[in-house]
């Protein structure tokens, strides 16, 4: 297996509105869609769509949402042998509101995702250890992520790990930082973890990634939306990768598109000669393309270009 994603599946219930509502305000929306989301599944689908052999370790309910989601993963070529079902909770859902400027607010109800356990990691051991790249996020129990990270680093240390600490949280144990080959967050997630205010500029992003390196990260990365991505490694060499300028229609899932593409590019043996900087640049280009269409997984492109600098 090239990419294994240990993570979440969420059915997206998406409302499009002229503006985001204020507290207590009711608005007339312009459109409603049901789609497939969840940070983990988004990242897996992105990697699969652009050519990686990809598997998911996840949990769904035994409801219609779960049935449809399982079929969706199969349809895009994701291996679902480690996607379990449970009657103890409904499949996860996300209610998403998108305004005319492509900004969004999201509320998630984890449901079955919250029941993905360390025992599930043990059951998926062979698949996890077969991966060239393993990807994690924060829509499943933290202890499950740590169990998988510890398994990988003890038994398959060459597997490259990417930890996307999203959605936002106030604290992570140092184990997570140290066991992640790439630790990636967006501006608001970095602000909460570091107790920093207003990470909006490249310079502020540089301060954030250096602070994450001080916590034990190998490579720390902060995505800055249209301003691109900043990252550094333990040498503290700072890098800024710009995003192409596009007309954004819907930014939902753009960060997952970036992570899934990066996982794919790192996993592919035939791409080992490409610099890490260039791989981050390509991931930015793919994520930028995804925001030019509505929807989450449905907006993800199926190809990318290596030679465009």
Segments in the chain forming alpha helices (H): 39-49, 64-75, 118-123, 125-129, 142-155, 174-179, 187-194, 202-214, 254-267, 276-290
* Calculated CA dihedral for residues 74, 78, 80, 82, nearest 10 degrees: -170
Tokens linked to 163: 């930890």
d(CA 57, CA 80): 8
Nearest CA among 116, 127, 153 for reference residue 38: 116
Q: Is 12 a catalytic residue?
A: no
Crossing angle of helices 64-75 and 39-49, rounded to 10°: 20
Catalytic residue among 12, 63, 256, 307: 256
d(CA 281, CA 96): 28
Nearest CA among 251, 202, 257 for reference residue 230: 202
46 three-state secondary structure: helix
**Catalytic annotation, residues:** 256
């Amino acid at each position: 297996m090239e990419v294994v994603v240990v993570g979440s599946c969420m059915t997206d219930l998406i409302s499009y509105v002229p503006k985001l509502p204020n507290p207590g305000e009711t608005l007339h929306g312009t459109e409603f869609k049901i789609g497939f989301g969840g940070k983990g599944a988004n990242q897996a689908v992105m990697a699969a769509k652009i050519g990686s052999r990809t598997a998911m370790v996840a949990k769904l309910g035994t409801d219609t949402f779960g049935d449809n989601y399982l079929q969706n993963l199969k349809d895009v070529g994701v291996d679902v042998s480690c996607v379990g079902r449970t009657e103890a909770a409904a499949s996860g859902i996300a209610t998403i509101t998108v305004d005319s400027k492509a900004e969004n607010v999201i509320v998630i109800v984890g449901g079955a995702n919250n029941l993905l356990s360390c025992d599930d990691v043990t059951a998926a051991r062979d698949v996890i250890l077969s991966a060239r790249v393993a990807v994690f996020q924060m829509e499943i129990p933290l202890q499950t992520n740590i169990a998988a990270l510890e398994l990988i680093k003890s038994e398959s240390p060459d597997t490259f790990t990417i930890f996307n600490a999203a959605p936002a949280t106030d604290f992570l144990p140092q184990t997570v930082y140290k066991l992640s080959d790439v630790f990636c967050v967006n501006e608001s997630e970095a602000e909460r973890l570091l107790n920093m205010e207003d990470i909006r500029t490249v310079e502020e992003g540089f301060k954030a990634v250096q602070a994450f390196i001080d916590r034990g990260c190998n490579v720390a990365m902060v995505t800055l939306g249209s301003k691109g991505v900043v990252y550094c490694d333990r040498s503290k060499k700072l890098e800024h990768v710009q995003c192409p300028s596009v007309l954004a229609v819907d930014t939902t899932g753009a960060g997952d598109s970036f992570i899934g593409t990066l996982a794919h590019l790192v996993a592919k043996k035939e791409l080992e000669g490409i610099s890490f900087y260039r791989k981050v640049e390509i991931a930015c280009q793919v994520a930028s393309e995804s925001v030019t269409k509505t929807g989450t997984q449905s907006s993800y492109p199926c190809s990318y270009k290596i030679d465009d600098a």
